[in-house]
Amino acid sequence: MSIRYEKKDFKSILNKYKFIDSWFWCKYSINAYNGCEFACTYCDSRSHKYHLHSEFDQIIYVKNNVKEILDKRISRARTLLPDVVAVSGTCDPYQPAEKKFENTRQCLEILGKHKYPVLIGTKSTLVTRDLDLLSKIAKSNWCSVAITITTTNDKLSAFLEPKAPSPKKRFETIRELKKIKGIQVGVNFMPIVPFLGDSQENLESIIKNAKDAGADFLLFASGVTLRDNQAVWFFKRLGDEFPELVEEYKKLYDATITPEGGYSGRFAPKGSYSKNINKKIFELCKKYNLDYRMKRFIPNDFRKLNYMIAEEFLNEAYAQQCLGKPWSNLFWAGQNINNLKESIVKIAERGELQQIRNINTDLEIRIKDFLKNHRNSQGSYYERKCIVNLEWWQG
The CATH code that applies to domain 4-225+268-287 is 3.20.20.70
pTM of the complete model: 0.92
How far is CA 367 from each of CA 345, 355, 387, rounded to the nearest angstrom?
10, 13, 12
Q: For residue 88, what pLDDT is reported?
A: 84
Q: For residue 394, what pLDDT is reported?
A: 30
Closest by CA to 217, choosing from 258, 178, 260, is: 178
Q: What are phi and psi of 372, to 5 degrees?
A: -65, -45
Query: Cβ distance 194 to 273 under 8 Å?
Result: yes
Distance of CA 112 to the CA centre of its chain: 20
Of 27-36, 127-136, 350-359, 370-379, the poorest mean pLDDT is in 370-379
Average pLDDT score, the chain: 92
Share of the chain above pLDDT 90, in %: 82
Q: Is residue 9 pLDDT above 60, yes or no?
A: yes
Query: Cβ distance 343 to 371 under 8 Å?
Result: no
Q: For residue 379, what pLDDT is reported?
A: 46
Cite the DSSP H helix spans in the chain: 66-76, 97-101, 103-113, 131-140, 154-160, 167-177, 200-213, 228-241, 246-253, 271-287, 304-322, 328-338, 344-349, 361-373, 381-389
Segment (H or E) for 391: none
Neighbouring residues of 35: CB distance < 8 A, sequence distance ≥ 6: 52, 53, 55, 56, 57, 58, 59, 60, 61, 91
Q: What are phi and psi of 148, to 5 degrees?
A: -75, 125
266 burial (CB, 10 Å; 0-12 / 13-18 / 19+) is: middle
Q: What are phi and psi of 329, to 5 degrees?
A: -65, -40
User: Mean of the pLDDT values across residues 245-274?
Assistant: 91
The amino acid sitting at 231 is A
Instruction: Give the Cα separation of 60 and 45 in Å (integer).
Output: 13
Q: For residue 14, what pLDDT is reported?
A: 96
User: Mean of the pLDDT values across residues 173-198?
Assistant: 97
* Residue-range domain boundaries for the chain: 4-225+268-287, 304-394
